[in-house]
Each structure stands twice: as structure tokens, then as C-alpha cells.
Amino acid sequence: MSDSSINTSEVDIVIAAINSDLTPFLNEWRPIFSPFHLIIVKDPDMDGELHVPEGFNVDVFTKSDINQMVGSSHSILFSGYSCRYFGYLVSRKKYIISIDDDCVPAKDNNGHIVDVVAQHIANLKAPATPFFFNTLYDPYRKGADFVRGYPFSLRSGVTCALSCGLWLNLADYDAPTQALKPEQRNSRYVDAVMTVPVRSLMPVSGINIAFDREVVGPALFPALRLSAEGKIRWETVEDIWSGMCVKVICDHLGIGVKTGIPYVWRRERGDAIESLKKEWEGVKLMEEVVPFFQSVRLPRSAVTAEDCVVDMAKAVKEQLGKVDPMFVRAGDAMADWVKLWKSVGSSTPGV
């Protein structure tokens, strides 16, 4: 059963749906998800009715909702993998949790079902420690603390804005790794969560994620579309791109990002070789953009996530735009996204 101490009015669970029948998925998650409001975004390119089982507090958003809100925008498309971001936009809650619809609850080393909502919210409510690494992992967890030598001046920590969960069975590997290790399965449940140090980038996976929408909501946006994009091709990097944006923004705002528990059990669909064809361009491209994200610095005047996205967009256009016109489009999309985020009443207070 879910953790009754969580204030359900603070949480939205956002699901992107390419499957027409979410019954098996939601029945697996019923004990954990049923107390919470669900936002299900039906992939606008998916035909047919979406079936959701009884017993959930759910709002389903479809192509017509997206078109009504986004209008004829050419820079912002909520198709394919990126349709979940529409759910991030329309939510009005403080915390958002998003789980892919091919994942089910995992079990910990004691065979207990992992409550992803409770653990993600615990991660987000406990401070983060990006400025000095605690070698005993999360010092705020029961049974842990700061180790000797950790500066007392830093022990109050900072706000945690993003909680990146992990995966048993099929870890989120890229297509080359999947093709090289088709039999590899992740059976190692590591009971740990830690803050990613400041100025360290990381691959943020959209499969099992939670964030403080009021603090970093607009920083999570799939702006990058490859020049020769297909509906799928460009989206294999959408969370990697937005993950680097949000980590740089969190570093700038002095807030934290955590990785570790909770785990989900991930079942994969699709073929590694097919994925390789789709993903290879994105895999190569990431090598080009990492130095940009490692070096970009935002102005002190940027004190909210919206400010940071606007300034980041300018830097993307100025510094990456000469590499490829797709980055000019990405920068424009980021700027349009902030306008859209503000216009739907989602403006975030300063940190």
C-alpha cells in the first residue's frame, strides 16, 4: 500500500501513453498510484480510444487538448516520447512523478514492493548536498549521517529539485550497448541515493523520474530535434538533452539532483538493432553538445528556472547554432516553451 503520510494534493503522476490499453500497467501500479491524481497524455499520433481501468483519479489529455493549448506552434511538438512534457505543463502540483508505461513495481532486496512515489517524494523533500560529497551517500536517510570531515557549515544542504530513479531487469542502456549485450539484465538493487555533485553532468532518463515542478518545471523540456528527424529518431535524446539543461540550471540555482532508489522493473519493447539505426545520430550528437553544457555559465540575473531556460536558449543558439541549424531551432523552442509555460499560468516563484 502507498505511504499515507504523503500529501496527495502535492503530487501528480504523469504517464505518456502509446498503448491503447493501460489496464495491465495501471493494475500493476494500483496499490501505489491509486491515492494520487494521474495525468495521462495520449500520444497525439496514436489513433483509437485509450482505455483506463476504473478506480483511478485520472485526467487524460489527447491531441485536441494539445492543439487547443499549444495551437499551431512549430517549435513545440508533444508527439512521441515528448508527449509526457505536456503533462508537466498542465499539472498544478508541486511534485511530478513520471514512469514509463512498460515499467512495473520493483522489489527490494527483502522482496518488498518498492513504493516509487514515497521514495521519490522522500528524495525531493530531504535536502541535497551538491557542494561536498558525503561518502556514506544520503546523510539524511535513517541510519546514516555526515561522515567525519564533512563541513558543518554545509550540513543543512540545499533544496532537491530532481530525483532520478533506476531500473531492474532492463537498465536504460543506449542501443549500441543493448546490441553488444543483448542478454544483460540488471539484478543489482543498490539501496542507496546520493546527490550528483555540482558541475557534474549526468544522463537523465525519463523512464523513472520525479521533480519539484515549482522549482525546475520549465527546465525539463525536449527542445532538441535532429536535423533529419523522424517522429522517433530525434526523441531518443530528448531526455538526455533536457537532463543536461536541468542539471546546469540546478547547479546555477544552487539546488540539488539525486540519483539512486527508487527502482522500477523495466520491460523493454523494440529491437536493439532497430534502435541503433534510430539512435546512432543522437549518440554521436551528444558527444558534441557535452562540452557546451560543461562550459556554459548562466548570468547572475537568472534567479528562476524560466530565466535560466531563456538564457540557456540564447547560449545554445550563439554557441551551438554555428555547429548545426538544429540548435538554432532548439534555442527557439526553449524560448517558446518558457512563454507557453508562463501563459498557462505555470510561472514558478524564484528559488
The stretch near ligand LCYJ2WEX (CB under 6 A) out of 98-106, 243-251, 286-294, 326-334 is: 98-106
The stretch near Mn ion (CB under 5 A) out of 83-91, 96-104, 130-138, 175-183 is: 96-104
What minimum distance in Å lies between the beta carbon of 262 and Mn ion? Answer: 17
Residue 235 binds what, of ligand LCYJ2WEX, Mn ion, none (CB under 5 to 8 Å, by partner type)?
ligand LCYJ2WEX
Is 229 near ligand LCYJ2WEX (CB under 6 A)? no
What minimum distance in Å lies between the beta carbon of 134 and ligand LCYJ2WEX? Answer: 29
Measure Cα distances from 119 to 260, 282, 330, 336 in Å. Answer: 10, 31, 33, 33
Contact call for residues 300 and 307 (beta carbons, < 8 A): no
Give the separation between CA 94 and CA 215, rounded to whole angstroms: 9
Classify 115 as helix, strand or coil.
coil
Residue number, 40 or 215, with CB nearest to Mn ion: 40
**Environment class of residue 250 by beta-carbon count within 10 Å: exposed (0-12), middle (13-18) or buried (19+)?**
buried
Candidates 28, 65, 102, 324; binder of ligand LCYJ2WEX (CB under 6 A) is 102
Candidates 87, 105, 130, 206; binder of ligand LCYJ2WEX (CB under 6 A) is 206
Cis peptide bond N-terminal to 349, omega within 30: no
What minimum distance in Å lies between the beta carbon of 174 and Mn ion? Answer: 13
What minimum distance in Å lies between the beta carbon of 205 and ligand LCYJ2WEX? Answer: 6
Give the separation between CA 340 and CA 210, rounded to whole angstroms: 21
Candidates 236, 242, 259, 348; binder of ligand LCYJ2WEX (CB under 6 A) is 236
Backbone angles phi, psi at 283, to 5 degrees: -60, -45
Give the separation between CA 301 and CA 166, rounded to whole angstroms: 35
Contact call for residues 215 and 158 (beta carbons, < 8 A): no
Helix H or strand E encompassing 11: strand 11-17
Candidates 138, 212, 235, 306; binder of ligand LCYJ2WEX (CB under 6 A) is 235
The stretch near ligand LCYJ2WEX (CB under 6 A) out of 5-13, 70-78, 232-240, 292-300 is: 232-240
C-alpha cell at 118: 514515497
The span from the first CA to the last CA of the chain, in angstroms, equals: 34
C-alpha cell at 338: 518558457
Residue number, 16 or 313, with CB nearest to ligand LCYJ2WEX: 16
Candidates 102, 108, 229, 324; binder of Mn ion (CB under 5 A) is 102
Is 229 near Mn ion (CB under 5 A)? no
The stretch near ligand LCYJ2WEX (CB under 6 A) out of 100-108, 119-127, 321-329, 342-350 is: 100-108
Candidates 142, 269, 284, 300; binder of ligand LCYJ2WEX (CB under 6 A) is 269
Region of 155 please: left (phi>0), alpha (psi -120 to 50) or beta.
alpha
The stretch near ligand LCYJ2WEX (CB under 6 A) out of 79-87, 123-131, 304-312, 318-326 is: 79-87
The 3-state secondary structure of 211-253 reads: EEHHHHHHHCCCCCCCCCCCCCHHHHHHHHHHHHHHHHHHHHH
Is 43 near ligand LCYJ2WEX (CB under 6 A)? yes
**Binding positions for ligand LCYJ2WEX, rule: CB under 6 A:** 16-18, 43, 80-81, 83, 100-102, 206-207, 235-236, 238-239, 268-269
